[in-house]
Every structure is written in structure tokens, then in C-alpha cells.
Amino acid sequence: MDGTIGGAAEKIFRLLKKYGEVFLLWLLCAASISAALYIYTGNGIDIYTIAGSALAAGLIKFFGLIRSKKFGGFIYFGTMVIVFTITPQLFIGSSWEERFAFIRWFFSGAQAEETRVVFMLTLTPLMVFFLASAFYYFTRIIYRSSMLALVSLIPFALAVKASASLPGAYAALIASVNLIFFIIDGQKNLLKDSVAGSTAGSAATVYTDFALAAVLLALIAPKPSVTPYYDKFEAMVSIFSFGGTGETEYRGEYKKSSGRIDELLRGESVLLYIVSSPEAAYMKTQVFNIYDNESGLWTDDSETVRGSKTWEETAPLLSFEKLAAAAEEVSEKNRVRLEDGFYTDEELLTDKYPWITDLMDITETQSYSIVYAQNFPAVYLPAPLRAMSVSVSDTRVSWIARSAAGEIFTDLPMLSPNVNFTVRYYSEKNLDYLMESGFCDISSGEWGCFLLDARWEADIDSEEYNVLNEFWKEYTLAAEYRGQYPTEVSAKIQALADDLTMGLEYDYQKAQAIENYFLDGKFLYDLSFEPPEGMNTPEYFLFESRTGICSDFARAYVLLARAAGLTVRYAEGFVPQPSPETAGTYLIYSDNAHAYPEVYIPMAGWTRFEPTPANYFGTGVNRVSGNEDTDYEAVTLTVAVFVAGFGMFILLILIYPKITEGIFRIRVKHAAVGKGVIMLYNRHIANAETRFKESFKAFTPEQMAQFSEEKTGQSIEPLTKPFTDVCYGGGDISKEDFDSAYECYKTQEKAMRKIHREKNKLNKTEG
């Protein structure tokens, strides 16, 4: 019985000795893979971690098989190229848009993009291959526990980069496995009489190194310039349910002052609206006109919402296409009247305003948005800037009004929390065309004069007159607005506004220059930033912290623009984000709340500008469509650096022994012949210890010669004799003796490599 137990114990011991390190290697791979994937899924164990762990086991076995092959390195490189080329092609496809989306998702920890199945199917094999390769190399090829610990920190570096948090259990498990490898490394070195230490010392060292490396990574790793979005997976289920019950903590109430944006951004992320539309568009809710220097907030000069109930009759007239048609009609009438002698000493309208001819070619794009509220009662109906009409599903609504600032509301104190409505509007793409084509490079005075002259030419009961009259009303109301809401700014803000707009003639140029000032990389968007007490001022934001949220950027922009003489107002609303599941569907969460300025630009009318920087993968929010405008050059450079770094790392792993050997041989060649022989002999001993896992430090040259001849079948007398002469005989050796020793060393090194390869191959066959 005792013999049976002893035999079983011995068998278990042999299995542990044979496979223990392989199991630890797999455990380290599995833990690191799980930690890396946790950043993107928030799950410790799921189908991806299970599949990744199984794949890691297969790769470890595969690496073991090709390790003893003559062309194992080339096989590995070929496999790596296949994995990193085929995997993205298989799951993401060849679309660069999809690939850039994957890259944004990866480098932001699933915060700049929603996690999709194809992203996880792409990331898992790539991450597994990389980690398994590195861990295998530093445990089975070249035993380097310090490098092993460094590679183990990669998941934590990713977490720091993405401002994500990992459960402490990952750090404990990964550090513990590293500790075991550290002890194994120490024991192997002890056998070679090269390291003296204790288990307690090893433990203290590895945990200290791990902690210091983690802190160092946290300090030096690049931080995101935008605070991460909340995970929105749970809310995604509501896409297919356009109803709901119960109350929400959020209510879209009328506000006497700004600040709602701060509440929504810093609160819990909640789905407020689902939007079906052919394009994304900013959805405005409320505008504030007066700046309070004491509170730092924008206020309204009314206690209630107010507006016109007949706005839908005239809003469609504010069309650039209709303006073009009216300009063409009145220009022709003006030409005829001049030819008939109706006027004396008058210019043609087309001569007085040369841009009229080009204006006649403008067309207008209309769009729509169907909006479904998700348990979110509100006073205002969020709508794009140039809304033409709105229809609401709530049968209790008697009328829909719009204020002069474009705020849309009904006769109800608060709309139903599950109301749906359709808004039709002129697309902001038309504004972009006007400004890019140079139509807005006119002064406010020239625009007003044109409208007066054109109205004079139009028949008072014609559509042309009505169109021109609506543009004239918008122009005069904007002029009244500028005079009605003067704003005092500090000398520093005034000086900055003067500097930014110096030499610029037109309002559009000035508005664009101020916008660019915030988007040149000097400012940082950060939800977590809180200014020191008493320092929540535009001056502190502009000249010291340069850090804040959208309301800080919008406030500073409006103050600078007003200081520069522009007609501008502070608006709040939402920026819809595309649904990852359904094309043409956009989601509005509470943290999609946004503040931004609207500037009156001659001809274009009220136009949205965007001073708030977008996230660190983009260059700004596109003023036309509201989509993120990705800086593809920056993304390409980031990916190129990452791929190049990874490739260099793998290449270094494969050729590291050859590099060190080459450096050694160069040093030997340039050393004195006596010193060179000593270096060759010591290097020969070190190579033998590495290949045969034994210590030869106490061997005499004769014993070493006998051992080497037994193993390689070749004499090393050309190496041991000059070594003995130099060390013990005190004699000099010739250059010919050194050359013979050098050739003997190379022969022995090649023979030992061959023996080591064959031994590994035999072990794999027996295993």
C-alpha cells in the first residue's frame, strides 16, 4: 500500500516537474488575457476569455512543436503575419472606416466606440497571440523573469490609457504567478552559483518591482483628453421598445439659468431619446441671453417660455434655394426697369452685388428626424437649428410654438415622458456650402443693403417679397439682439478677442478664428475637472486651466465673440450618437447633453459653431453633420507606431541571442589577445551552462576540456591551452594562438547549439 502511494506521489511529482512550468505559463496567459478583455467587456469570465484561454493553450503547444524545428523562427513569423493580416480581414473587413472604428475602440478601451462582436472577435486572437508569444519566449526560450513581469503589465497599461479600472484580483493573481517564476529563476541561478537569495527576499523584490512599474506606467502613460463615456449596453435593449413606464430622475424643465448640461453630464448615463433620421444633427432645447458675472451662468430674461404659434407658416421661407430664386427674379426686374429708364444713375443689382449671380445656383436640402422620448418628460422639443415644422403624437397638444431663438414648445406644461414627434428642417449642410463657397464673406451692412434693395424690386404680394422679407426680419432681429444684450468683459478677454480677430473683415472669418483658437490642441475637455473654489471664471478657464466641459467652452466662446462685435448667443441641447446596431438610428443619452454658441452670420443667418474639442481620436465635432470628424492622419500614425513597435519587439525576441553573440564577438576581436582568450573561455563556460543546465564554475580547464569533448566530440585544447598560459603560466600568447582559440570557440558554440536543438526535439518526441 505504501509502495503504491509512494509510486503515485512520485508520478505526480514527475508530472508537476515536467508540466508545472507550462501550466504556470498558461495560467499567466489566461489571467493577462482575461484582464485585457475585461477593459472592453467588463466581464471576468465570458465566452471571449474562455476562447482566449483555450487558444493560448493551443499556441503554447504549437510554439513547443516549432521550437526544435530548424526553421522554427520563420514558421513563427509566417504564423504571426497570417494572424495579424487575416483576422482583421475576416471579422472587420477591408473597409477603412470600420478599421478606424476598431482602432478608436481599442485605444479608448471601448469608450470612443461601442463594443461590437466583430471587434471582440478581432481583438481576442490578436491579444492572445501577442501575450502568448511574449510569455512563452521569456519562460521557455530565454528565462527572464524581469521581462516577464514587464509584459504582464500590458493589460494594466491599457487600463491606464483608457482610464478604466481593473479588479484587484487580476493584479494579485498575475503578480503571484510572476513571483513563482521569479523564484524558479532564482533557483536556477542558485544552481549556477550566480545568485544568492531567499524566498522572502524574492517575494519582496517581485512585488516591489510590480508595484513600482504599475505606478510608473500610471504616471507616464498618455491620458485621454476626453473623460470616458459610460457603458451603455444595458440601455441598448430599449431600441426596440418605443414606450415605457415609470418616472426618471431627469426632467427637461424650463431653466431660468444655464447649468443643466453640468447636471446631465456628471450624472448617471440614461437614455433620453431615440432618433430616426437620415443624418445626425444637433438638437437644441434652450437658449440663454444674459451673462451673470457673479454666478458665471447664463440667464434668460423671461420667467416663462414664449414664442410664435404661427412660425410654421413663415419658417419654410428661410430657404437658401428660395432666396436664390428671389434674387434671380428681382435681378431680372431690376435689369428691365433700368433698360426701360425707370431708374436714373442706378447700378444693376448684379453689378452692385456681384455674388448674386453665383447665389442663383444654390439648392436646398431638407431632412427630418423622428424622435421617441424614453421616459423623459420635457418642456422643450429638441430640434435642429433650421426647423420648418413639427408634429407631435400627444393628442393633448393644442399648438406648437417656436421662440425667436429657435426653442420649440407646446401649450402643455410638460410633455408626456413617452411622446414621439417628427421635426422637418433644412439641413446644416447648406450652411456649410454657403460658408465654404465664400458667400458669407460679406459685411453685415452689405447684406442689409442687398435685402433692402431686393425687397424694393419685388412685388409686395409675391413669394419673392415674402422670402426676402423673412430674411430681412431675421437680419433686423439679430441687430436688435446685439444691442439688447450687451456684455461687459474683462480687459484680458477683450485683448484676446482683439488679437484673435485682428485684420479680419467679415463676421464669418472672426467666428471661425475664435473657434479655431479652442481646437488647436491647447485646451482639454475633462468631465472630472473642478476649478479651485472661487475660480470658476472664464478668465481662469481661458488663461490658466484651459480645461473644462462644453459649458465652459461655450461660455468663453460667446464672451470672446461678443467682445469681437459678433452677434452670438449661448445654446444648450444634445448631440445624438449613431446606434451601433441600426443604420439611420441615433441615441441621445443624458451625457450627450451639450452647450454650444450660435452666431448670426450675414446671409447664412444663425449658425452653430463648435469650440469644444472632440475626443482624442478626432479633431472636432463636424459642424455640418454632427458626426465625429476623425483625424485619420493621427490615427494612422498611432497605429503605425504601435505596429512598428510590436514588430520590433517580436524581431528583437527572435534575434536577441544573435545580437548579443555578435556584440560579444566584436568586443573579443578588439580586445588584447590575452584578455580576449579569457573572454572566450568564460563565454564558452556560460554557453555550456545555458545549453546543458549545469554549473561549470568550479571546473578546471582540464575538466572542462574533457566534458566538452564528451559532449561535442571535438577537442577544445586550442582554447584551454592559451587560457592556461595566460592565467597560470604568466606567459604571453601570439595572435595566431588567439585566432585558433577564437575559431575553436565558434566551433564549440555551433556544436552546442546543435546538441541543444536535438535534445529539445527528443524531449518533445518523448513527451
Backbone φ and ψ for 423, nearest 5 degrees, come out as: -120, 130
Q: How confident is the model at residue 676 (pLDDT cuts 50, 70, 90)?
A: confident
Quote the strand ranges of 434-584, DSSP E. 524-525, 547-548, 568-574, 577-578
pLDDT at 527: 81
pLDDT at 201: 42
Higher pLDDT, 240 or 3: 3
pLDDT at 445: 93
Residue type, 311: W
The predicted model gives 537-550 an average pLDDT of: 92
Return the closest-CA partner of residue 457 out of 545, 327, 356, 562: 327
Helical axes 145-152 vs 168-191, angle rounded to 10°: 170
Q: How far apart are CA 211 and CA 2, in angstroms?
A: 46
Instruction: With a cut of 60, say whether residue 461 has pLDDT above it.
Output: yes
pLDDT at 576: 92
Q: Would you say 566 and 507 are in contact if contact means Cβ atoms under 8 Å apart?
A: yes
Instruction: With a cut of 70, say whether residue 434 has pLDDT above it.
Output: yes
210-214, 302-306, 307-311: which is most confident = 307-311
The predicted model gives 36-63 an average pLDDT of: 88
Q: How far apart are the first and last CA of the chain?
A: 29
Q: How far apart are CA 560 and CA 400, in angstroms?
A: 34
Higher pLDDT, 199 or 240: 199
pLDDT at 241: 31
Residue type, 571: A
The predicted model gives 440-464 an average pLDDT of: 91
Q: Global pTM?
A: 0.54
3-state SS class at 565: coil
pLDDT at 364: 87
pLDDT over 70 percentage in the chain: 78
Higher pLDDT, 152 or 454: 454
pLDDT at 4: 55
Backbone φ and ψ for 584, nearest 5 degrees, come out as: 80, 5
pLDDT at 335: 85
Report domain extents, the chain. Answer: 2-226, 235-613, 671-766
In this structure, of 631-640, 648-657, 740-749, the range with the lowest mean pLDDT score is 631-640
> 637, exposed or middle or buried, with CB in 10 Å at 0-12, 13-18, 19+?
exposed
The predicted model gives 229-247 an average pLDDT of: 33
What would the grid cell of residue 492 be? 484680458
**Average pLDDT over all residues of the chain:** 79
Q: How confident is the model at residue 627 (pLDDT cuts 50, 70, 90)?
A: very low
Instruction: With a cut of 80, say whether residue 2 has pLDDT above it.
Output: no
Q: How far apart are CA 743 and CA 613, in angstroms?
A: 65
Q: Would you say 100 and 618 are in contact if contact means Cβ atoms under 8 Å apart?
A: no
Name every residue whose Cβ is closer than 8 Å to that of residue 507 and which is 6 or more positions away in sequence: 440, 443, 444, 566, 567, 599, 600, 601, 602
Instruction: With a cut of 60, say whether residue 588 has pLDDT above it.
Output: yes
Instruction: With a cut of 50, say whether residue 199 has pLDDT above it.
Output: no
Instruction: With a cut of 90, say whether residue 399 has pLDDT above it.
Output: yes
In this structure, of 480-494, 680-694, 735-749, the range with the lowest mean pLDDT score is 680-694
pLDDT at 602: 94
What would the grid cell of residue 11 be? 508520478
pLDDT at 11: 54
Q: How many angstroms separate the Cα of 344 from the Cα of each of 336, 347, 348, 748?
A: 13, 9, 11, 109
In this structure, of 345-354, 449-458, 501-510, 564-573, the range with the lowest mean pLDDT score is 345-354
Instruction: With a cut of 70, say whether residue 162 has pLDDT above it.
Output: no
Q: How confident is the model at residue 622 (pLDDT cuts 50, 70, 90)?
A: very low
The predicted model gives 294-322 an average pLDDT of: 86
Q: How confident is the model at residue 251 (pLDDT cuts 50, 70, 90)?
A: confident
DSSP class of residue 501 equals T
Q: How confident is the model at residue 628 (pLDDT cuts 50, 70, 90)?
A: very low
The predicted model gives 121-144 an average pLDDT of: 84
Q: How confident is the model at residue 514 (pLDDT cuts 50, 70, 90)?
A: very high
The predicted model gives 122-150 an average pLDDT of: 83
Per the listing, cell 444674459 goes with 290
In this structure, of 129-133, 161-165, 525-529, the range with the lowest mean pLDDT score is 161-165
Q: Would you say 164 and 39 are in contact if contact means Cβ atoms under 8 Å apart?
A: yes
Backbone φ and ψ for 291, nearest 5 degrees, come out as: -95, 130
Instruction: With a cut of 90, say whether residue 734 has pLDDT above it.
Output: no
Bridge partners of residue 257, in order along the sequence: 299
Higher pLDDT, 494 or 713: 494
Q: How far apart are CA 132 and CA 126, in angstroms?
A: 10
What would the grid cell of residue 458 be? 419685388
Helical axes 491-500 vs 550-563, angle rounded to 10°: 80
Instruction: With a cut of 80, say whether residue 632 has pLDDT above it.
Output: no
Render pLDDT for 96-122 as a digit per residue (tens, 0 to 9): 777 777 877 887 777 666 778 888 898
Instruction: With a cut of 70, say whether residue 73 has pLDDT above it.
Output: yes
Render pLDDT for 261-296 as a digit per residue (tens, 0 to 9): 666 666 678 899 999 999 889 999 999 999 988 888
pLDDT at 216: 43
Render pLDDT for 173-189 as a digit per residue (tens, 0 to 9): 888 888 887 776 655 55
Q: How confident is the model at residue 318 (pLDDT cuts 50, 70, 90)?
A: very high
- 669-706 burial, b for 16+ CB within 10 Å, e for fewer? eeeebbebbbbbbebbbebbbebeeebbeebebeebbe
Q: How far apart are CA 444 and CA 577, in angstroms?
A: 35
